[in-house]
Amino acid sequence: AQLANQIAAGEVVERPSSVVKELVENSIDAGASELLIDIEQGGARRIRIRDNGSGIERDQLELALSRHATSKISSLDDLESIASLGFRGEALASISSVSRLTLTSKTAAQTEAWQAFCEGREMRVQIQPAAHPTGTTIDVQDLFFNTPARRKFMRTEKTEFGHIDEVVRRIALGCPRVRILLQHNGRRIRDYRPLRDESNATQRLSSIVGNAFAQHALSLQAEVAPWLLRGWVAPAAHCRHQGDIQYMYVNGRMMKDKLLNHAIRQAYGEQLGDDRQPTFVLYLELPPRDVDVNVHPAKHEVRFHQARQVHDFVLQSLRQALPGTTP
C-alpha cells in the first residue's frame, strides 16, 4: 500500500482528467474517427472510453497493460525512474495500477473480441472472449481505490468533470475530424461533430468554444513557406477579462508556449489594456525538423530552432488579421 501511495503521489496519474487525456490520445493514435467518453461521478467512479480505432491484438493485450508492471513498479527506487521517464509509454500500466481496468478490443483481422481485466498493482491480468466491434473500449473504475491519499485529493464531482471537459475540448480542437461524444452520469454533455470540409469549420469551432467567440473571431491564414499559421483570433473589443479561450496548437499538439504567447500579445499592442486577454484558436504548422517538442516534460512547451523568426511570423500574421494594428 505504501508503494501504491508513492506511485499515486507522483505525477503519474494526477486526477481523472489525466486519465482521460492519456486514453483519448491513445484512441486518436489508433486512428479512431469516433469516440464515446462516459464519465460517472466526475471520473471517480468510472471513466470509459470507446473508440473505433485499429484495436489491439489478443496477444498484445497483456503487454499493453503490464509493460512496466514487473520491471519498473517493483521497488521504491524504480519510482524515480518512472517519474523521470514521465507518463509516456506507461499510461495504461500506470492507470491500471490505481484502478480496476477492463480493456476490450478487436482488430479488423480478428473475428472475435478479447477482454483483459486487471485490478490494482498486482496486475493479475485475465483474458477472455467478448463482444465488441473493431476498436477498443477501456473502462477505468474506482480510480485511486487502492491509494486513499490520492483519492482524498480529488475535488468535487463538478470540479473534476470540469477538468475533463477542458481536456476533451483541447483534444477536440486539435482533432477536428474526430467525432467526440462526452457523457456525464448518463447525460450527454458534449457532441462535437466532425469537420467535413471548411463549410462547417465555424460550426465545429462554435460547438467547442462557444458562439460568442465563433461569431466575432477573425479567421486567419498566413504562410511563410514552409511555415503555416491558421485559425481564429478575436479582435480586442471582443476579448474578455478571463483568458479562457487561448488555444495554440503546434503540429497538432496543444502548447502553452511563452514565445508564442508573447508574439500574440504583442500583436494586439495597446489595444487590450490591462483588463483583457488575447483570445485565439491557432494552428501553427512547421516541418518537424524546425521544432523540438521535448523541452517540457508535460510537453506544453516547444523549442523552435529559429525562435526569432517564428515569433515574428506569428506577430506579423496576427497584425495583418487584427484591425487597427500596424503590420
Return the number of the residue (225 or 298) whose C-beta is nearest ligand ADP: 298
Q: Does 56 help bind ligand ADP (rule: CB under 6 A)?
A: yes
What phi, psi does 299 have (nearest 5°)?
A: 60, 35
Return the number of the residue (18 or 279) whose C-beta is nearest ligand ADP: 18
Omega before residue 226 within 30° of 0, cis = yes
Question: Which of 27, 66, 96, 99: binder of ligand ADP (CB under 6 A)?
Answer: 27
What phi, psi does 270 have (nearest 5°)?
A: -80, -10
Closest CA to 47 of 17, 92, 11: 17
Binding mask 85-114 for Mg ion (x = CB under 5 A): ------x-----------------------
Residues 6+ apart with CB under 8 A from 296: 302
Residue 136 partner contact from Mg ion, ligand ADP, none using kind-dependent CB cut-offs of 5 to 8 Å: ligand ADP
Partners of 320 in the β-ladder: none
Q: Does 26 help bind Mg ion (rule: CB under 5 A)?
A: yes
Q: In terms of DSSP bridges, do strands 179-184 and 34-40 run parallel, antiparallel, or are they unpaired?
A: parallel
CA 191, 196, 201, 202 dihedral sign is negative
Of residues 61-80, which lie at the interface with ligand ADP (CB under 6 A)? Answer: 64
Q: Does 305 help bind ligand ADP (rule: CB under 6 A)?
A: no
C-alpha cell at 79: 519510482
Return the number of the residue (28 or 318) whose C-beta is nearest Mg ion: 28
**By CB under 6 A, how many residues form the interface with ligand ADP?**
17
Interacting stretch for ligand ADP, rule CB under 6 A, among 25-33, 266-274, 283-291, 294-302? 25-33
Interaction site with Mg ion (CB under 5 A): 26, 91
